[in-house]
Structure 1
Amino acid sequence: MLNFLGKRAIASGISLVGLVLLVFFLSRLTGDPTGLYLPLDASEESRMQFREIHGLNDPLIVQFFSYMGDLIRFDFGDSIRRSEPAIDVVLRAFAWTLQLGTLTMMLVVSCAIVVGSLAAFHVGGIFDRIATFFSLIGASAPDFWVAIVAIVIFSVTLGWVPTSGTGSVAHWILPIAVLFIRPFGLIVQIVRGSMITALSSAYVKTARAKGIKNRAIIFVHALRNAMLPVITVVGDQAAALLNGAVVVETIFGFPGVGKLMIDSILQRDFTVVMAAIMVTATAIFVMNLLIDILYSILDPRIRY
């Protein structure tokens, strides 16, 4: 296991370096941020001084290796916009995204397992058809479209919930609901397919012959063996949820890392953009590693 973890850490490190290289040069294509932070009538001397302070006078390749050197020392630089360490700005925003993503995935996984398992147990029945119909619609619905429609209906027309912000529980309802729909639909389908296979196995038939209750058969005997493909999809959807939060947070004005990233790109705050991507990518790599470890716990036959 330790050998496997070491290999995954090395592979993740190489991927992070490649990601930093790509994002660093792409972010510079947005242009010189000097015009955004200095008055239009600022002198050329002031502009040169601004660039010198923020290391923008050097050639791009020199800036990149300088940034990598700072990164090795865990120095992400200071935000041009906020004049404070970029990593502090990102971690504050990431805490909001982490809360939003954790709450959403807890609801998604618990609801999808119940709905998918019951649909598999009553395969071909009314409940199965309804669950399949709505889960397929949910899996196909784009987040940005659902978010806009939800605001128009529930905020503007009905006035039930606020359109943006985080001041109360009501502010969280629409962002969680929008992020809930797509992963719920996908995971329900995976749970249903895995459970159909598990419920048709010999050990389940033996459990039924012994008179074990249906609830125990579904959620004790069959579910454990059906969870491996489900865990894979849950991990993928958790990572996709972090990426999807960029759009949803921007639409709902939620102060998470997604909105911060969009704002920083528009403001050409390069250090914050890089720090946000590094933190998000690291979180995704760690999450994938935990899923691999969970695989070996659920299925002792797996040996890395």
Structure 2
Amino acid sequence: MTKLIGQRAVASLLSLLVLMVLVFFLSRLTGDPAVLFLPIDATEEMKEQFRVLHGLDRPLLEQFNQYVLDLLQFDFGDSLRKARPALDLVLEAYAWTLPLALLTMTFVITAAIILGSLAAFKVGGFFDRLVSIVSLVGASAPDFWIAIVAIMVFSLSLGWLPTSGVGSVAHWILPMAVLFIRPFGLIVQVVRSSMLSAQSSAYVKTARAKGVKNLRLIFIHTLRNGMLPVITVIGDQAAAMLNGAVIVETIFGFPGVGKLMIDSILQRDFNVVLAAILVTAVAIFLMNILIDIAYGLLDPRIRQ
């Protein structure tokens, strides 16, 4: 188990290094920040002073070397737009994104496991068909389309919910609902398939023959042994939710890391873009390691 986690950690570190190199150099291809930040009538001398002030006048390799040296000291540089440490801005944005993602995933996992398990218990029944149809539609619908339709229906037409902001509980309902639909659709299908496979095993048939009650048979005997593929897709969808938050937060004006990232890309605020992507990548890598640990807890063969 320790060897597996060590291998994953090394692979994650290498992926992080590759990502850092790609994002750093690709972000420099978006244009000259001096043109964006300075007034339209700024002289070439003013633009050059801006580049010198922020180290943008030096060769790209020299800029990259300096950036890596700063990163080793946990210095992500300052925001060109707000003149504040880029890491502080990213962490402030994550203070909004993490509660949104954690609350949504909690509802997703709970609903998907319960409904997927119950649907698998009576295959072909009305409830099974209903859950299958809803999950397929949810898994297929793109987030941005759902978000736009939700605003048109529940905000503009019915006037029930606000279109943007974070001032009250009502402001969280639409972003959470939009983020809920796609991972719920995918996870509930995997839960249903895993439960169907587990039900055909000998230990479940033996438990049923001994007269074990249905709920105990589903959630104790069957579910625990069908959780490995479910954990995999939960981890994938949790990571995808952080990526999906980029679209949802931008549409709903939610002040999370997704909106911060889009705003920073449009404004060529390089340091904030890099900080947001690297912090998000680290969070995803840590999540994958936690999934490996959960694997080991559920399956003793992995711990060997």
Calculate the TM-score normalised by the size of structure 2: 0.98
Following the alignment from structure 1 to structure 2, what is the Cα–Cα distance between the partners of residues 135 and 173? Answer: 20
* One-letter amino acid of the structure 2 residue matched with residue 204 of structure 1: V
Q: Is the 8 A contact 2:101 2:241 kept in 1?
A: yes
CA distance in 2, matches of 1:205, 1:13: 45
Aligned length: 304
The equivalent residue for 1:74 is 74
Q: Which runs of 5+ in 1 are unaligned?
A: none
- 1:163 is displaced (CA, Å) by 0.3
Q: Over aligned residues, Cα RMSD in angstroms?
A: 1.0
For residue 260 of structure 2, what is the aligned residue in structure 1?
Answer: 260
Q: Distance in 1 between matches of 2:235 and 2:116?
A: 17
Report the Cα distance in structure 1 between the residues aligned to 2:214 and 2:184, rounded to whole angstroms. 24
Deviation at 1:118, TM superposition (A): 0.4
Asked if residue 278 in structure 1 is aligned to residue 278 in structure 2, the reply is: yes
The amino acid that maps onto 1:183 is P
**Identity over aligned residues, as a percent?**
70
- In 1, are the aligned partners of 2:79 and 2:272 still within 8 Å (CA)? yes
State whether structure 2 residue 224 is matched by structure 1 residue 224. Answer: yes
Secondary structure of residue in 2 paired with 1:196? helix
Give secondary structure in 1 for the equivalent of 2:186. helix
Kept after mapping to 1: 8 A contact 2:5/2:292? no
Partner Cα distance (1:10, 1:207) in 2: 43
Match of 1:107 in 2: 107
Q: Which residue of structure 2 aligns with residue 190 of structure 1?
A: 190
**More divergent stretch after superposition (6-15 vs 280-289):** 6-15
Cα distance in 1 for residues equivalent to 2:164 and 2:74: 34
Q: Which digits, 9 at most, give the CA deviation of each residue in 1:16-73, with x for residues without a partner?
A: 1100111111111110011222122223322211111111001111111111111111
Deviations 1:84-122 (A, max 9, x none): 100000000012111111011000000000010000001
**Counterpart position of 2:64:** 64
Structure 2 stretches of 5 or more lacking a match? none
Any idea what SS the aligned residue of 2:302 has? coil
Q: In 2, distance between residues paired with 1:43 and 1:199?
A: 74
**2:147 corresponds to 1:147:** yes
Cα 1:259–1:89 shift into 2, 3 Å = same
Runs of 4+ in 1 over 3 A off after TM superposition: none
Structure 2 residue 95 is matched with structure 1 residue 95 = yes
